[in-house]
Chains A and B, each alone.
Chain A
Amino acid sequence: MAHVSIRDVRKSFGSVSIIKGVDIDILDGEFVILVGPSGCGKSTLLRMIAGLEDITAGEIRIGSRIVNDVPPKDRDIAMVFQSYALYPHMTVAENMGFSLKLKGMPQVEQKKRVGDAAASLGLTPLLDRYPRQLSGGQRQRVAMGRAIVRDPQVFLFDEPLSNLDAKLRVAMRAEIKELHQRLKTTTIYVTHDQIEAMTMADKIVVMHDGTVEQIGAPLELYDRPANRFVAGFIGSPAMNFIEGCLEQDGLALPSGTVLPVEAQLPVARGSKLTCGIRPEHLQIAPPGTPGSIPATVAVVEPTGADTTLIVKAEGGHLTAVLRERSTLRPGEAVALKPAAHQAHLFDEQGGRIAAA
């Protein structure tokens, strides 16, 4: 096990800059998830940590060792790929034991290690099968088995669940988390799925356009997003954003509603702000309630546990999540009242100002 530190790491292909100076500290035994939209550089960063991509500038340390110029096999890492990258012509046992064989480990020891790893993942009956004879979930487990037999200092996962169906993904999510709790190996996990990030991570790194937008614990990112990007990216359904203008008695929204804000805001009156409200912080109120936003129901999506309501308001669509079942129908007039002190304010550059 080891801590990993990434210092001002940059990567460019020719004149195109992909990673624009990233600093991340990953503690020993921590489960860190790099999350962001496609093309944000998260996979490239992971491949740089693995040693599969060169580092243009900066420094990556695993443990106390700078690994910039260390080849992947000497970094003491194991990686699980999105496509699993199992060797199609080798059996499950051979796939898992390949790295041990290359190390020149004695056969008996190899067999024992593969057997142990297979047992812990429930793969023992499959050891003689070929990857093509396995289901998606089993392949995924073999890919993880191949990583654990090596007992590496760091596990790297590159979107390992994105090829699985929704149900299996939830099951494997729990399995990976359990595995981490058992082995306590430092883990770096890349995904574009913010639910995966929220549910599994000790610490989330939100990336966008080659830079780190925010690093923090899942709920910290949810409750105090550093900027509009993080606010919009974390949380599902996504946060509602309403443009408004700061006035004497609060934030004036396009609908004419005035949202009360903290008295001491570090911005001048009259400046344009964006107000972010999570869907669960919008409540249904009778039309005409003071401080509420008038709207028309567009779509009602009952999920059983709760109901998602998409409404049309002045300035765009809003989403609300109601805990109770709803009898509302499309076309009906409603009013949505933001919960007190739950709104986030962002300035025109998207930076966080304060909670309203």
Chain B
Amino acid sequence: MSMVIDAPRIVTTKPLLVVRGVSKTYGKVVALHDVAVTAYPGEVLGIVGESGSGKSTLLRMMNLEETPEFGSYTLDLPDLRGNLFNLDRFARRMLCATRIGIVYQNPHLGLLMTHSSSGNVAERLLIAGERSFATLRAKATDALDASEFPLDRLDAPPIELSGGMQQRVQLAKAIALEPALLLLDEPTTGLDVSVQALVLDTLKRLQQGRQITMVVVSHDLGVIRTLADRVMVMRSGRVVEEGLVDQIFQDPQHAYTQQLVHAKL
């Protein structure tokens, strides 16, 4: 009797997200140089690096907010072919609204601060064409519930909410349309440690429940260690090291990564 071993999933699964050869300069400053990113379905990819290493620029590009000078970006989704950087404004907007969710470090970037929280979530659904008030209300409530937002504050404007709650509204907005890709830009920076832990908990549960592919950008190694499966280390616009989280954190190879891991208090 012979035993058949399936090939590991990483060999058989096609990556969801492929970014290749992305370069971007702002004047003389090189923000990104020949960066490649690959993320597989259901995986959490962490990107770490110091301030100014280009990690946020990379994330904004994955959300199609910026276009690089060189490089390509593909998402393995039905009816989506070719380099996404070449999409027109209209197609970009639809793609960003329906297939990609983003949580910014600064909630002011992602939320309408004086509209109601449920309205902020409903906006996504409205862009996608939902026109029934009852459905909007129900779906917005569901999404806020899934991101563990207290439902008695459903219609409070984000400006009246605490930082942790604002992040939850952003998260609910991002997952309202069940996106294929969730981008998190320093989702817990600026929150105190206990709230940080609660938000990370929510993210972890969401990821396990829904199998969303996530890309988490953070300078906090703790956040990456808690959430990510794989990690990319960036410095001055380049990827210096890439690998499984345990591998990178236990046995860093690159001098900068060693420094980064040891610098952790």
Whether A and B are associated in the same complex: the answer reads no
- Which residues of A are at the interface with B, using a C-beta cutoff of 8 A? none
- Which residues of B are at the interface with A, using a C-beta cutoff of 8 A? none
